[in-house]
Homo-oligomer: A and B are copies of this chain.
């Protein structure tokens, strides 16, 4: 049938709306996000938003997932281009520090993670999505560790890569919150330094020139 024209147009709108929603959530917060806001940001009527997503809740969950998804895919692509495990680990760390890479908006995508967490506490749908998103990021760390061990950059005799990844992931989450909320005491640079230090000690390698 009409497999050429419709799907293309649809996908665009769909995506446009998700993107707009993610932006609105990022700067107003989930609680203050109205369908109206998202519609305005797309230059579209509120009715259309519902036409595509059926309900506000469905849209919000999809938008949160979508935004995280995008940034995961982007990071994955970037990682694949880096030849050494040390560079990959460094990139992963830098990308985890709120406001270190000049990526997204004023309020980092970490703000979206917080919203995801709060929502996942009570919304089973979001809890399921969260699990998937979280697992992927931890996997990424673990893969870099395994990669480094394979190439000989990292010592091969350390702890289980998945355990290490989970511990590094936890520390990153905790520090990111501090940077986000408490940036007098915990600055991005300080978080970066701590993360590098912890990663080096846990994995057992030395970061080359990249640091600052």
Question: Which residues of A line the B interface, CB within 8 A?
Answer: 28-32, 107, 111, 114-115, 117-118, 120-122, 127, 130-131, 134, 166-167, 169-175, 177-178, 180-182, 185-186, 194
Contacts and interface: CB of A to CB of B under 8 A. Distances in A.
A169 B180 contact: no
Contacts of A171: 167, 170-171, 174
Contacts of A115: 118
Residue of A31, A127, A134, A177 with highest tally of chain B CB at under 10 A: A177
A138 to B, nearest CB: 9
A194 B167 contact: yes
Nearest to A179: B170
Nearest to A110: B121
Contacts of A107: 121
Contacts of A121: 29, 107, 111, 114, 180-181
Given A31-B31, A117-B114, A118-B114, A175 B180 contact: no
Contacts of A181: 117, 120-121, 127, 130-131, 134
Given A117-B181, A134-B181, A170 B175 contact: yes
A178 B173 CA distance: 9
B177 A117 contact: yes
Given A29-B118, A118-B114, A121-B29, A170 B166 contact: no
Given A31-B31, A107-B121, 13 more contacts: A29-B122, A117-B181, A118-B118, A120-B181, A134-B181, A166-B186, A169-B178, A170-B174, A170-B178, A171-B171, A171-B174, A172-B174, A173-B178
A122 B117 CA distance: 17
A181 B170 CA distance: 12
A174 B185 contact: no
